[in-house]
Amino acid sequence: MRWLCRILDRIGFKALPRWSWIFVWILSPFYLLRRDQVRRNLKRAFPELDLTGIDALGWRSFRSTVVSLMDVLWWCGWHSRDPEKARRWFAGEGVRFSDDSIREALVRNGGIVCTGHFSTFPVIPQYFALFKPTGVFLKKVKNPFIQSRLDWLLRSMGVIPLYVDEKGALKRAVEILQEEGIVVVLLDQHFGRKGRVEVEFFGHRAFSAGGVVELARKVEKEIWACLVKRREDHFEITYVRRLSSPGMAVEGQKIVQDFTNLLERAIMDSPEDWLWLHRRWKDLDKR
């Protein structure tokens, strides 16, 4: 993994998309194994597309996913070689917010940030970890080698993994928030039946982790929506919206649905940037 980070570091951020075809070709067997899942997902979201259009969009999405992975490894390579310069770029012109006042509020007060599997989404916890204690809720993967690499990547970025299938994850999240830190949640998935809420996503029933709302109320923190978009020479944090504040009398399901609607709009604007590989509609897949 480290040698790959060093290679991507030499290529440079702007050139990564041009080199992505090599990694797309190497990883294409994995995509072909998941192609039926991609087709099902895209057909649900875009029923007007024929199979040719679905497959074309599926490949563009896979390439975007590969570029996102390359972005993360590129950063780790640069950071291990020149950490101070890498941090300065990432904290400055490398990551820009569509609204700087929101960036300042989050960095100052902390809170819960909801995001999704959209573009280079690891940028969000990675960015906030430069300024605040930052954790991200995750499920452990079954493959121990991949899990160990994931751990290494997160810790290289300064991010605290909060594994929902381990005891103490919720307690650690509360501690981070009480320290005015940031907790990031991928809200286009759910982590099991406990605490999940039902939402409508592209006209179909799906489930999300509703426990994030109870966590915010417990520690009296704001909930924000943030997505990231890769540009030619930087990342942009966009589609930013405050979903709730302490004391707001809003149902948890509505807060999660508001985020889901925002994510759906972002996907409609740029459908290749969402991770169509993953099983967002698990209950529908079982039928």
Q: What's the pLDDT tens digit per position in 30-87?
A: 999 999 999 999 999 999 999 999 999 999 999 999 999 999 999 988 988 899 999 9
**Number of domains within the chain:** 1
pLDDT, position 252: 82
Q: How confident is the model at residue 285 (pLDDT cuts 50, 70, 90)?
A: low
Q: How confident is the model at residue 175 (pLDDT cuts 50, 70, 90)?
A: very high
Q: What is the pLDDT of residues 2-16, one digit of tens each?
A: 788 888 999 999 999
Domain that holds residue 218: 2-285
* 235 close to 94: Cβ distance less than 8 angstroms: yes
- Measured CA to CA, the distance from residue 150 to residue 139 in angstroms comes to 11
Strand order in 235-244's β-sheet? 95-97, 235-244, 223-230, 111-115, 182-186, 134-138, 160-163
pTM of the model: 0.93
- Measured CA to CA, the distance from residue 178 to residue 159 in angstroms comes to 17
